[in-house]
Structure 1
Amino acid sequence: MSTYQDYQKQIAELQAKAEAARRTEVSEAKAKIQAIMNEYGLTVADISGSAKQTPKAPRKPVEVKYKDEATGDTWTGRGRAPKWLAGKDKDDYLIR
């Protein structure tokens, strides 16, 4: 019957073997990738696509549609209605 220490030793040995296998597989994968990149004349920028992406245009702010004249609170009409407008007629606060 094996002891706890025997199992820990086996675990350590297996982890070392797994790490060695991983290093070998990673180096082989890198070599394959490098060969393909050389064959097709690719660069890292070609693969990542970062050089070809166009930046998005900044969004312009949404105009305010509703305003409470008493407090100065405003709402664009998008999303959940604010608490100051709850139970009230929105048309009364519509900016014209």
Structure 2
Amino acid sequence: MTNSYKDLLAQREALEKAIEQARQNEIAGAVTKVRELVAEYGLTVQDVFPGRAGKSAAKSSGGKVAAKYRDPATGQTWTGRGKAPKWIDGKDRSAFLIA
């Protein structure tokens, strides 16, 4: 039984469609089951995905950090986080502290 190249491609296409349809059916069933469990037990996003909701809340609540150091010559400031700017790098930082 020898199938031609075109026949095999057509079979593959039909099989890929059948696979995708079976996947969609199983996903729909899984989503329904998950929704039932969430409703039955009163679960929250935090219960199901711990850490995920907390990260987004922490990001949105964060704001700018106040400047901790100031260059008296230029007035430029630095929070003390990240790479130090050239005007303070390698120097005694206490002289640049903002009171």
| TM-score w.r.t. length of structure 1 | 0.58
Q: Show structure 1 runs of 5+ residues with no match.
A: none
Identity %: 36
Aligned residue runs from structure 1 range 1-96, under 5 A: 1-33=2-34, 36=37, 40=40, 42=42, 46-49=43-46, 58-59=61-62, 61-96=64-99
Corresponding letter in the other structure for 2:94: D
Give, in angstroms, the shift of residue 60 of structure 1.
6.2
SS at match of 2:87: helix
CA RMSD after TM alignment? 3.5
Higher CA-based Rg: 1
Counterpart Cα distance in 2 of 1:64 and 1:34: 47
CA contact (8 A) 2:38 2:44 kept: no
Q: Structure 1 residues 90, 12: CA separation in 2 closer, same or farther (over 3 Å shift)?
A: same
Counterpart Cα distance in 2 of 1:95 and 1:69: 10
Bigger share in helix: 2
Corresponding letter in the other structure for 1:93: F
Counterpart Cα distance in 1 of 2:98 and 2:34: 61
Q: Show structure 2 runs of 5+ residues with no match.
A: 47-52
